[in-house]
Amino acid sequence: MKIVSVCRVLPTPDSPAVGAFVLRRLAAMADRADVRVVQPLPYMPALRPLPAWARAASHDAGGLRIEHAPMLYLPGALKGLDGRWLARSVHSKLAALHAAGEVDALDAHFGYPDGVGCVRAARRLGIPVFITLRGMEVDALRTRWIRPQLIRALHDANGCITVSHSLRDLAVEAGVAPEKILVAPNAVDRTAFRPGDRVAARRQLGLPADAPLIVSVGHLIAGKGHAILIRALASLRESCPDARLAIIGGPAYEPDHPRVLAQVAREAGLEEAVTFVGAVAPDAVTLWLQAANAFALATEREGCCNSVLEALAVGLPVVTTPAGDNPRFVSDDVNGRLVGIGDVAGTARALLAVLGRAWDHDAISRALPVGGWSDVADQVLGFIEARRRRSSARDTR
């Protein structure tokens, strides 16, 4: 198959860690099909011009060529029009590929504006289109002027791929026929994320050999709940005074939030106990996880949380919330604890319980029911081909 994948959230020279999980699926698909990747790049002359790298035709990331599609839009205003702006940004490229017989299906990532815009563009050209839901759709469906656009796009698409069962349920509640939905959870690279030698990892990172270490991985945005973890650490240190927290992740679409988190740590008197590692490469994430005693993420919203999966693959007990599909992977006293969203005291109690017992890290890793990215690619490509053929057969009747 010849597939054009469209996604705004992909690694760029400015933000190399953003959209890594989307890129990994696309790279696995590209090993099995002819995949072209198109990244709409929002800009507004004078207000938000394109960066220098984006003025080129493309850039490379993760072994893939990512083609640029400048997307005119209004920053912070009229967000209900973003689907139309995105459709305009990709239409000419799609039309040229379609005329040359170079596209069998359009693969859009995130429901809005990517999915909405791609459905608009694809329908004009008669191209089968598929939308992957990744978690942001929870908020989109709560937004009055976006909800009807997203629901219509999901109905008009040839198929819907969700990274979690919770997102599948969301699509069904929106009226999407269950047979049009594939649940394809994210994967874990087991060659990178695996149990390791904690002492050696700490030595390499220059960390104390014995201090209890909790690691969290996620963008520095309010929804990831890092402030909850910092406050929970303050309570935890009343019983476990040497406990430390390392937060891995960089700024995202809330540029002031890193400053907010630093202020929370200062107010709690934890400046020396909380380390903001920043955005780092996957091998460095693995090293921090191997150095840790536990993983924690007080997240408010998820689809399929890769940082939770990667921590479990390393063999760490996980303290997290029941957001998204987390309850499918984390069970109390089996491989961690689930706590309520926003529950500082409950998070502190769960961390104390997790740190207070010995865990079989190899057993936690082995029990994780998640395959590799090649498995995800096979699922997705099989689904797209089946739904595409079904649509073609219906159109020829």
Range of weakest confidence among 68-77, 103-112, 359-368: 68-77
pLDDT for 289 beyond 80: yes
Residue extent(s) of CATH 3.40.50.2000 domains in the chain: 2-187+373-395, 198-367
**Which CATH architecture describes the domain 2-187+373-395?**
3-Layer(aba) Sandwich (3.40)
- Mean pLDDT, rounded, for 338-366: 97
The pLDDT value recorded for residue 394 is: 61
The pLDDT value recorded for residue 20 is: 86
Starting at the edge strand found earlier in the chain, the sheet holding 58-61 runs 58-61, 64-72, 34-43, 2-6, 105-109, 129-133, 159-162, 181-183
Contact 77/48 with Cβ under 8 angstroms?
no
The pLDDT value recorded for residue 392 is: 67
Residues in the chain: 397
In one-letter notation, the amino acid at residue 372 is G
- Mean pLDDT, rounded, for 96-120: 96
Q: How far is CA 323 from the centre of its chain?
A: 13
Starting at the edge strand found earlier in the chain, the sheet holding 274-278 runs 274-278, 244-248, 213-217, 294-297, 318-320, 336-338
The pLDDT value recorded for residue 108 is: 98
The pLDDT value recorded for residue 351 is: 98
> Which residue has better confidence, 78 or 119?
119
- Mean pLDDT, rounded, for 180-205: 94
Categorize the per-residue pLDDT at 339 as very low, low, confident or very high, splitting at 50, 70 and 90.
very high
Categorize the per-residue pLDDT at 173 as very low, low, confident or very high, splitting at 50, 70 and 90.
very high
Q: What is the mean pLDDT of the chain?
A: 93
Which secondary structure element, helix H or strand E, spans residue 36, and what is its range? strand 34-43
- Mean pLDDT, rounded, for 260-264: 96
pLDDT for 125 beyond 60: yes
pLDDT digits (tens, 9 = 90+) for 26-79: 999 999 999 999 999 999 988 889 999 999 999 999 899 999 999 998 887 888
Alpha-carbon distance values, 45 to 9, 12, 40, 74, 91 (Å): 21, 20, 16, 10, 21
Alpha-carbon distance values, 149 to 63, 80, 131, 146, 218 (Å): 34, 9, 13, 5, 29
The pLDDT value recorded for residue 34 is: 97
Residue percentage of the chain with pLDDT more than 70 = 98
pLDDT for 396 beyond 70: no
The pLDDT value recorded for residue 282 is: 85
Cβ partners under 8 Å of residue 132, min gap 6? 107, 108, 109, 110, 115, 160, 161, 162, 163
Alpha-carbon distance values, 396 to 125, 357, 389, 390, 391 (Å): 17, 63, 11, 10, 9
The CATH number, out of the four listed (3.90.650.10, 3.40.50.2000, 3.40.190.10, 3.60.20.30), of the domain defined by the range 198-367: 3.40.50.2000
Contact 117/83 with Cβ under 8 angstroms?
yes
The pLDDT value recorded for residue 395 is: 57
The pLDDT value recorded for residue 43 is: 92
Q: Closest Cα to residue 291, out of 311, 276, 274, 273?
A: 311
